[in-house]
Amino acid sequence: GQQLNQSPQSMFIQEGEDVSMNCTSSSIFNTWLWYKQDPGEGPVLLIALYKAGELTSNGRLTAQFGITRKDSFLNISASIPSDVGIYFCAGSNTDKLIFGTGTRLQVFP
């Protein structure tokens, strides 16, 4: 099945550090979303982006929708232990989501 490319695959950082992760696609999407998945849980929506070039923040999270509509990044500032989890990007043109391969984040105190 189709998947978006996310990088890095995993990150190990110290509490308080900033984090940046990217997502790229060979296809154009009208909407980009970022999700976080905790162990044993379903994905939870963090940020939704609807316009090319849009920069949106949600607390310590900031995400941008690329101008070409083929990429997006997510930044997390001043990481805390509860940021641990898997972060997924997802693109959408219609009524289905195409998910990225995921970035696993570990935060050490």
Partner 1 sequence: DSGVTQTPKHLITATGQRVTLRCSPRSGDLSVYWYQQSLDQGLQFLIHYYNGEERAKGNILERFSAQQFPDLHSELNLSSLELGDSALYFCASSVVTSSTEAFFGQGTRLTVV
Which spans of this chain sit near partner 1 (rule: CB under 8 A)? 1, 3, 31, 33, 40-45, 48, 88, 90, 92, 94-102
Rounded to whole angstroms, the Cα distance separating 54 from 18 reads: 21
Nearer to partner 1, 96 or 109 (CB): 96
Question: How far apart are CB 44 and partner 1 at their closest, in Å?
Answer: 7
3-state secondary structure of 74: strand
Rounded to whole angstroms, the Cα distance separating 91 from 53 reads: 15
Nearer to partner 1, 79 or 85 (CB): 85
Nearer to partner 1, 48 or 84 (CB): 48
The distance of Cα 69 from the centroid of its chain, to the nearest Å, equals 15
